[in-house]
């Protein structure tokens, strides 16, 4: 098994502000597609359907609809590469956990994502999104363990932070850490696409 890649941060204050000068969807890879021959660093984002991956990517690149949100869970069946500032890529992985997708399609998605995680030398980190309002699902736990198995310590982003009261946040963070069996040094970032809370902490990881 490869050595696990991990990220640690001292906080957003330790990094220079990230100014978004350009952002574009550069490559879309389906199940049978070859991965692009990129040389810039890549940061991948995984999460169940409707956890807010598209909203998070739009918040990071400061665009309203670069990553298209969908009312149909499980619709995204591709790996999408967004080039930012011609310096790095944000990579949107297919959502998981949607029951109406056939097992054969799920298996093909899994093979596609595994191929990406194992063979991508320029992949610097994998962000796993979970819904902060709820206990991580069995699919979340499975994905967390699977990312570790493929050589990365996931950076957990707890979305929809604005839906909780301030005094509910510590309990929610504790539940996520315990359910996923996160280690002491693993990074957990509460995030809101509405208020942009947590965005600077993610920027610090992208530029640190």
208 residues of the chain, pLDDT tens digit each? 445 555 554 445 455 568 999 999 999 998 888 899 999 999 999 999 889 999 999 999 999 889 876 555 555 578 999 999 999 999 999 888 765 566 776 677 788 888 899 889 999 999 999 999 999 999 999 999 999 999 999 999 999 999 999 999 999 999 999 999 999 999 999 999 999 999 999 999 997 6
**Rounded distance between C-alpha atoms, residue 157 and residue 73, angstroms:** 19
Q: How many other CB atoms are found less than 10 A from the CB of residue 104?
A: 8
Record the tokens describing residue 171, joined without a space. Answer: 């309990």
* Spatial CB neighbours of 77, under 8 Å, sequence gap ≥ 6: 30, 31, 94, 105, 109
CA atoms within 13 A on the CB side of 40: 16
pTM here? 0.88
Helices vs. strands in the chain: H and E counts, helices first: 5, 7
Cα→Cα distances 55→17, 113, 122, 142, 153, Å? 20, 21, 24, 23, 23
Q: What are phi and psi of 136, to 5 degrees?
A: -55, 140
């Amino acid at each position: 098994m490869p050595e696990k890649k991990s990220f640690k941060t001292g906080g957003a204050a330790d990094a220079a502000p990230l100014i978004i000068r350009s952002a574009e969807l550069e490559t879309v890879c389906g199940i049978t597609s070859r991965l692009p021959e990129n040389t810039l660093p890549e940061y991948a984002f995984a999460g169940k359907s409707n956890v807010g991956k598209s909203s998070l990517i739009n918040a990071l690149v400061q665009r309203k609809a670069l990553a298209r949100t969908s009312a149909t869970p499980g619709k995204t069946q591709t790996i999408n590469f967004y080039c930012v500032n011609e310096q790095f890529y944000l990579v949107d992985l297919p959502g998981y956990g949607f029951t109406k997708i056939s097992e054969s399609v799920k298996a093909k998605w899994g093979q596609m994502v595994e191929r990406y995680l194992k063979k991508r030398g320029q992949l610097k980190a994998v962000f796993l999104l979970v819904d902060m309002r709820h206990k991580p699902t069995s699919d979340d736990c499975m994905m967390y363990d699977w990312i570790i198995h493929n050589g990365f310590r996931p950076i957990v982003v707890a979305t929809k932070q604005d839906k909780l009261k301030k005094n509910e946040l510590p309990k929610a963070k504790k539940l996520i850490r315990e359910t996923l069996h996160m280690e002491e040094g693993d990074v957990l970032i509460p995030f809101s696409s509405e208020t942009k809370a947590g965005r600077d902490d993610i920027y610090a990881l992208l530029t640190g």
